[in-house]
A and B are shown apart, each in its own frame.
Chain A
Amino acid sequence: MRSPHQPTRRATLAGAATLLSAPFIFRSAHAAEDIKLGFNGDLSASPSAQSGRAAVVGIQAAMADLAREGGVLGRPLTLTIRDDLSQPPKSIQNMSDLIDNEKVVAVFGPTNSGNALAWKHIPNQKHIPVMGCIGSATDITKGTGGDNYMFRVGSVDRIQVVTLMGYAKKNPRSGKIGFLTETTGYGQGGLKDLQEVAQAQGLTPAANEKFNVNDTDMTSQLSKLKSAGVETALVWAQGTPIGQLMRSMDKIGYFPTVLTSWAADNLSFMNAAGPQLAEKPIFLRTVSETRSPRQQALFDRVRPNIDADSAFSFAVHGYDGTMLLARAIQQAGSTDGAKLREALENLNGSYEGFAKTYDHPFSRTQHDALGAADQRWTCWRDGKLAAYSDDIVASLKPEDFKG
């Protein structure tokens, strides 16, 4: 016997359904207002954290500018930030959280390349575009069969290697080239690029030496380069060991032309090498140290919120990446991931960004917006980063960048 006060089974079910669907009703109503974007990257743990923080500053500056123009599709943008502490497991967890729980339409990041490689299958499976602006590993934006949702406005190891090799080939001094790499994943990834690109450009290294990231004396390795007659050394390592390498060159009085990975822009390189030796290597960045008035205005605007002058390029990547994404949303007329990817791959018109003017920055097979022609030659002068130029840099043409 059922008491008359007890609700019927049907009423109970209906009530439960209403209760369960309430958050979804709320969420979809909420989504109609905001376009949610996510950031997933290291903001506090590794030495690269300052780059992650600078990227976020750039993204937020772009969002503020978009908000002034009335948002995208008439809707405001919001940014949900997740710090991955540079740990791959945490980064993977953040990615699922941002996509499944926060329902973001696109994600920026990560700071550390390894983390992107750890989770790039997730956005590819869930059809959520990722805009990289910090990590530079070549494989991040490489497709793995099927649709590729990984995009990047930033530095790419492979493109740096191609550009540096173009310089090495044209250097009248470089009768012979040699490689010096660190035995970490970063250094060995770079070595693979160096070897492949050298082959593509018809160069054979006369020496190929390795060192540990904590080494303080690389004189033995350098002696081998010296006796092999190497006059252009291509170095792939982090800031501190490149600094120690310069000190070891000083010890044996051997100074070939030194072309290095962009890690030499880090203050840790400057500290290890000292101000005089720091002026020797040449490397590539995406934003020149001789800033245009427009770049200077952005620099002055964001500089109070970033940790170092050298981190400005990441703010630029974040800013331009956000703007390109906004244009893709506008063009797609929707925030659907697959449509967004298609819009990014076929972006109409051109956009005057802060790193360059983007004209069809991405295609189905090309997901890196900044290429060899967008690299800016850089060096240290008087303890500060400066634009580098010489006759070889001036003579480099697009056809010199092969590989």
Chain B
Amino acid sequence: MLATWLQALVSGLAIGGVYALIALSFSITFTTTKTLNFSQGEFIGVGAFLGVAVLYLLSGQDEGAALAPGASAGFNYPLAAIAVGAAVGVIGILLFITAVRPFAGKPGMSWVMSTIGFGIILQSIGLAIWGPAPVNLPSPFGDDVIRIAGAGVRPQEILVLVVAIVLMIGLDLLLRRTRMGKAMRAVANNPSVAALMGINVSAVMIGAFALSSALAGIGGLLVAPIASASIFMGLGIALKAFSGAIVGGLDNPRGCIFGGFALGLLEASVALWQAQWREIVIFLLIILVLAIRPQGLFGARTLDKV
């Protein structure tokens, strides 16, 4: 019985780490620009496939055969992560320039449609290049199950958790301790005043989108060895991550991380009871949280002047 609960805890933390990372990426653009990238799911899928492409290149393997188990070994996987982060970051800048900046700060919700549209374009291009079939991406630390007090976990799941936590701590420090972080928070607080103080508001916003997209891309590369890389893999993850962000409070990065982990743990424990009720329980809970605290558990209460 203990092993069963421990297994649920381990599984929940592993998937929760991914949710938390993507939830944080939602928070980054929301706090700086008050907009969200609704195509974050497609960015995850594209990140995974770019990672596959880079690994093929680094391991010198023929495109016809599946990636060998050793293709991610050594520096290949970290190099792929850097390449994916940079490439998806650039796509994020493109998204900001074409689909967000023209509409941000204007009345209406045009940016919702334009970011969704950008995602559909991205997905269609991805389908044309890589096709709909899932592709295997080997984990850099092999595929053997590690046993912890009766519960089993794969090296990649631990890697996801560790990388997610390291990235989250790093970003937390960046936001709270550095001049750049201060600038980002200033822009979030009041863009006009920030601009008057000599902060390049435009650059901060572009940076926020690049960072947020890079996180989604790296998230895709991290999940691919667990779920297989596929252009559709990100949709479910992004939806859950967004839910986690809403529960935690979109404007509070730490709250988003909490929300992501909470959702992962909740999923694993509800499945212990009745797996087919998982989605129902999770979304009922989200509705409940929003009914009681519309700003999320850790969000700041804001008053909109009408």
**Chain A residues close to B by CB (< 8 Å):** 47, 183, 209-212, 214, 216-221, 223-224, 227, 240, 247, 250-253, 268, 271-272, 274
**Chain B residues close to A by CB (< 8 Å):** 1, 3-4, 7-8, 11, 14-15, 66, 132-134, 136, 143, 145, 147, 151-154, 226-228, 233, 236, 268-269, 271-272, 275-276, 278
Residues of B with C-beta under 8 A to A183: 276
Q: Is B7 in contact with A252, judged by CB distance below 8 angstroms?
A: yes
A212 vs B66: C-alpha distance when bound (angstroms): 26
Nearest-CB distance from B2 to chain A (Å)? 11
A115 vs B227: C-alpha distance when bound (angstroms): 29
Residues of B with C-beta under 8 A to A224: 272
A200 vs B271: C-alpha distance when bound (angstroms): 30
Q: Is B228 in contact with A209, judged by CB distance below 8 angstroms?
A: no
Q: Is A251 in contact with B275, judged by CB distance below 8 angstroms?
A: no
> Closest A-chain residue to B226, C-beta based?
A216
A218 vs B271: C-alpha distance when bound (angstroms): 8
Choose among B134, B269, B271 the residue that contacts A268 (Cβ–Cβ < 8 A): B134
Residues of A with C-beta under 8 A to B227: 214, 216
Residues of A with C-beta under 8 A to B151: 251-252
> Closest A-chain residue to B14, C-beta based?
A217
> Closest B-chain residue to A181, C-beta based?
B276
Nearest-CB distance from B62 to chain A (Å)? 17
Most interface-central of B151, B228, B271 (chain A CB within 10 A): B271
Q: Is A251 in contact with B153, judged by CB distance below 8 angstroms?
A: yes
Asked, given contacts A217-B15, A220-B11, whether A240 binds B275 with beta carbons under 8 Å apart, the answer is no
Nearest-CB distance from A187 to chain B (Å)? 11
Choose among A47, A210, A211, A271 the residue that contacts B136 (Cβ–Cβ < 8 A): A271
A211 vs B272: C-alpha distance when bound (angstroms): 12
Jot down 5 A-B pairs with beta carbons below 8 A, ordered by A: A217-B14, A220-B272, A224-B272, A253-B145, A268-B134
Q: Is B7 in contact with A220, judged by CB distance below 8 angstroms?
A: yes
Q: Is B275 in contact with A223, judged by CB distance below 8 angstroms?
A: no
A379 vs B247: C-alpha distance when bound (angstroms): 45
Residues of A with C-beta under 8 A to B276: 183, 210
Q: 3 smallest A-B Cβ distances: which pairs?
A: A251-B152, A220-B271, A210-B276
Residues of A with C-beta under 8 A to B8: 219-220, 223
Nearest-CB distance from B255 to chain A (Å)? 25
A251 vs B7: C-alpha distance when bound (angstroms): 9
A289 vs B49: C-alpha distance when bound (angstroms): 34
A156 vs B41: C-alpha distance when bound (angstroms): 37
A54 vs B109: C-alpha distance when bound (angstroms): 48
A288 vs B32: C-alpha distance when bound (angstroms): 62
Q: Is B134 in contact with A240, judged by CB distance below 8 angstroms?
A: yes
Q: Is B228 in contact with A271, judged by CB distance below 8 angstroms?
A: yes
Q: Is B4 in contact with A223, judged by CB distance below 8 angstroms?
A: yes
Most interface-central of A214, A227, A274 (chain B CB within 10 A): A214
Q: Is B271 in contact with A251, judged by CB distance below 8 angstroms?
A: no
Choose among B228, B233, B278 the residue that contacts A272 (Cβ–Cβ < 8 A): B228
Choose among B1, B133, B147, B275 the residue that contacts A47 (Cβ–Cβ < 8 A): B133
A97 vs B196: C-alpha distance when bound (angstroms): 69
Residues of A with C-beta under 8 A to B143: 274
Q: Is A219 in contact with B7, judged by CB distance below 8 angstroms?
A: yes
Residues of B with C-beta under 8 A to A250: 145, 152
> Closest A-chain residue to B268, C-beta based?
A220
Residues of B with C-beta under 8 A to A272: 134, 228
Residues of A with C-beta under 8 A to B268: 217, 219-220
> Closest A-chain residue to B138, C-beta based?
A274
Nearest-CB distance from B17 to chain A (Å)? 13
Asked, given contacts A210-B275, A217-B14, A271-B66, whether A251 binds B145 with beta carbons under 8 Å apart, the answer is yes
Residues of A with C-beta under 8 A to B269: 220
Q: Is A209 in contact with B275, judged by CB distance below 8 angstroms?
A: yes
Q: Is A219 in contact with B134, judged by CB distance below 8 angstroms?
A: no
Choose among A214, A220, A268, A274 the residue that contacts B275 (Cβ–Cβ < 8 A): A220
A221 vs B271: C-alpha distance when bound (angstroms): 6
Q: Is B152 in contact with A268, judged by CB distance below 8 angstroms?
A: no
Q: Is B132 in contact with A47, judged by CB distance below 8 angstroms?
A: yes
Most interface-central of B1, B66, B152 (chain A CB within 10 A): B152
Q: Is A214 in contact with B236, judged by CB distance below 8 angstroms?
A: yes
A251 vs B275: C-alpha distance when bound (angstroms): 18
Nearest-CB distance from A359 to chain B (Å)? 41
A218 vs B133: C-alpha distance when bound (angstroms): 22
A183 vs B274: C-alpha distance when bound (angstroms): 13
Q: Is B7 in contact with A240, judged by CB distance below 8 angstroms?
A: no
Nearest-CB distance from B270 to chain A (Å)? 8
> Closest B-chain residue to A210, C-beta based?
B276
Choose among B154, B272, B278 the residue that contacts A223 (Cβ–Cβ < 8 A): B272
Q: Is B134 in contact with A271, judged by CB distance below 8 angstroms?
A: yes
> Closest B-chain residue to A277, C-beta based?
B143
Residues of B with C-beta under 8 A to A211: 275
Q: Is A217 in contact with B228, judged by CB distance below 8 angstroms?
A: no
Since A183-B276, A221-B271, A272-B228 are in contact, a sample of 20 more A-B pairs with Cβ atoms closer than 8 Å, ordered by chain A residue number, is A209-B275, A210-B275, A211-B275, A214-B227, A217-B15, A219-B8, A220-B271, A223-B4, A223-B8, A223-B272, A240-B134, A240-B228, A247-B154, A251-B145, A251-B151, A251-B154, A252-B152, A268-B134, A271-B66, A271-B134
> Closest A-chain residue to B233, C-beta based?
A214
Residues of A with C-beta under 8 A to B153: 251
> Closest A-chain residue to B15, C-beta based?
A217
Q: Is B275 in contact with A221, judged by CB distance below 8 angstroms?
A: yes
A252 vs B7: C-alpha distance when bound (angstroms): 8
A217 vs B157: C-alpha distance when bound (angstroms): 11
A219 vs B158: C-alpha distance when bound (angstroms): 16
A240 vs B227: C-alpha distance when bound (angstroms): 9
A247 vs B155: C-alpha distance when bound (angstroms): 13
Residues of A with C-beta under 8 A to B278: 212
> Closest B-chain residue to A224, C-beta based?
B272
Residues of B with C-beta under 8 A to A223: 4, 7-8, 272
Residues of B with C-beta under 8 A to A209: 275
Residues of B with C-beta under 8 A to A210: 275-276
Residues of B with C-beta under 8 A to A217: 11, 14-15, 268
Nearest-CB distance from A384 to chain B (Å)? 15
Residues of A with C-beta under 8 A to B3: 252
Q: Is B4 in contact with A227, judged by CB distance below 8 angstroms?
A: yes
A104 vs B99: C-alpha distance when bound (angstroms): 51
Nearest-CB distance from B34 to chain A (Å)? 31
